[in-house]
Each structure stands twice: as structure tokens, then as C-alpha cells.
Amino acid sequence: MFGIQCTNASTGELTISSEAYTFGYLGKATFVSSTPAQNVDSLSSTSGYSTWTFTSSGPILVALGLKSSGQTGVALLSMSKSGSTWTITTYDGGTGSVSPSSGGTYDAQNTTTDVYVFGFPGSLPAFGVALYNAAGTLTGDLSRMPLTPASRIALADSVLATTIPVLTKPAIIGKPWYEQKTSSGSGVSYVNQGYRGMWHWTGDNQLHRAEYLDSYENSDSGVTPSLFRGACTGILIEANGLT
């Protein structure tokens, strides 16, 4: 199909166009491992993370499921590709904790994060609707559920929460920019701590940009305290029914 343009009935905003690439739902990433807090017996330690993989030859977008209980917060840490295998690392703080000998208290990592993957089709099925642009390039495969935002998130640098629609199973694409370093002590004894941002949701209509302990260090020198909480954006989707 060529030349299709769809707009929102209430606002007139463009939602689907054959001239733009339409990402469709490809499936969930596969859980590989959960790594607890590192260097637990040394003077410095770092938080844990979980690793997932997904096979796709093309570019992908990842949406992380938000849980109303059992989760302190979630964040996408990294994505890398080797051949057609994508490796995805996430922070998914559980309600348990890990306390290394160096000090500090880290969130335990959940192993059941919902990692939803959207991408561009590498091939077409026998039946369905395909979109092509004016140059004849394939731009979408509507046999797959298209990536459809339920809400667009935009937080200024000083804003820590925003109102969202009531969703059954929300998931989010985007990075909650938040980085902080603190230092306390004197002489040759300092405690340096680093924090990073995560998305936090408790089941109501508020989405929070929260922080988690990312690193803890006992040192003979302090670090320069800093706080970066930049403006950030995200896309909230309804993941109910995605398997």
C-alpha cells in the first residue's frame, strides 16, 4: 500500500504514514542472567543488572514493563548488536536488598522484567498490509501490532513526576536522565556514592523519575559532588496483550 496517511480523530495529529517507518511488535526479549551487586568484598562496589537477548537483523526499540509492586524502578542501561543478536541490559530493582561489605544498600535485581521489542520487518508474511513510501521502499508491516503511544512523556530538568493515563499494563521507552555523585568524610576517610535514574510507578496515575544507588566507595579522597537531572522524554505504551 502506498500513500496512506492516518490522523488522530480528536487532535488531527498524524499517527501512521507510508512515508515514515512504522515499527511493529516483534516479541519479548529472552532472559539470560541476573548479575547481583559487584565487588561485594572490596572497598568499592556497583549495583546489579540483568541481561536479555533478542534476534533481529534490523534496528529495534525496547519498552520496559512497569510494575506496581515488587519493583523499586526500572531503566534501560545498554543495547548492543553482534550479527543479528541484540544484547540488552536493564536495571530492575526488586524489593529485596544487597549490602556489600564496602557499605551501601543495593536493590536486588528481578529476573522477570517484561522487555518488549519493536522493530522493522526483515520480511513480509503471506497475508497482511505492507506500507511503501513514494520511492517504493518498504516502511511498515501492519500484520504486526504497530508501536502506538498511549502517552508521550516530557519532563523538564526540575520535574520528577508526571500524570499518565490509567493503563492495565504500562511499559515505557526512554531514559530517565538522572545522575548524582555525593561525598562525605574528611582526612583520609571518605564515602563516595553515585546514583542513576529509573522509572518508578506504584499503580496510580503518576510516573516518577527516581534514583537508585549505582556505586559505593570507601576512599582516601573525596569526589566532587554533582547533580545532573536533564530534561527527558519517553513513550508510554499499553502492553496488555503483548506476549
Model pLDDT, residue 49: 94
> Rounded to whole angstroms, how far apart are CA atoms 119 and 61?
6
Model pLDDT, residue 2: 64
pLDDT tens, position by position, 48-66: 999 999 999 888 999 999 9
pLDDT tens, position by position, 7-16: 777 777 666 6
Model pLDDT, residue 123: 66
Instruction: Find the domain containing 129 and state its range.
Output: 5-238
Model pLDDT, residue 225: 96
Model pLDDT, residue 38: 80
pLDDT tens, position by position, 105-127: 899 999 888 999 999 766 666 66
CA angle 209, 210, 211 (to 5 degrees): 135
Element (H, E) at 176: none
DSSP single-letter state for residue 241: T
Taken as a whole, the chain contains a residue count of: 243
Note whether residue 98 is domain-resident: yes
Least confident interval from 39-53, 126-140, 185-199: 126-140
Mean pLDDT of the chain: 88
For residues 207-228, give the mean pLDDT.
94
DSSP single-letter state for residue 66: P
- With CA atoms as reference, report the closest residue to 213 among 105, 131, 98, 71: 105
Inform me whether the pLDDT recorded for 23 exceeds 70.
Answer: yes
Please say whether the dihedral angle defined by the alpha carbons of residues 206, 204, 48 and 217, taken in this order, is positive or negative: positive
Inform me whether the pLDDT recorded for 102 exceeds 80.
Answer: no
Least confident interval from 68-77, 135-144, 228-237: 135-144
Burial, 16: exposed, middle or buried (Cβ in 10 Å; 0-12, 13-18, 19+)? middle
CA 178 from chain center: how many Å? 13
**Residues pairing with 75 in the sheet:** 91
Domain count, the chain: 1
Instruction: Express as a percent the part of the chain with pLDDT over 90.
Output: 60
Model pLDDT, residue 200: 96
User: Cα dihedral angle (218, 220, 224, 230), rounded to 10 degrees?
Assistant: -20
Model pLDDT, residue 13: 67
Inform me whether the pLDDT recorded for 19 exceeds 60.
Answer: no
Least confident interval from 10-24, 97-111, 213-227: 10-24
**Position with higher pLDDT, 47 vs 143:** 47
Model pLDDT, residue 51: 96
Note whether residue 243 is domain-resident: no
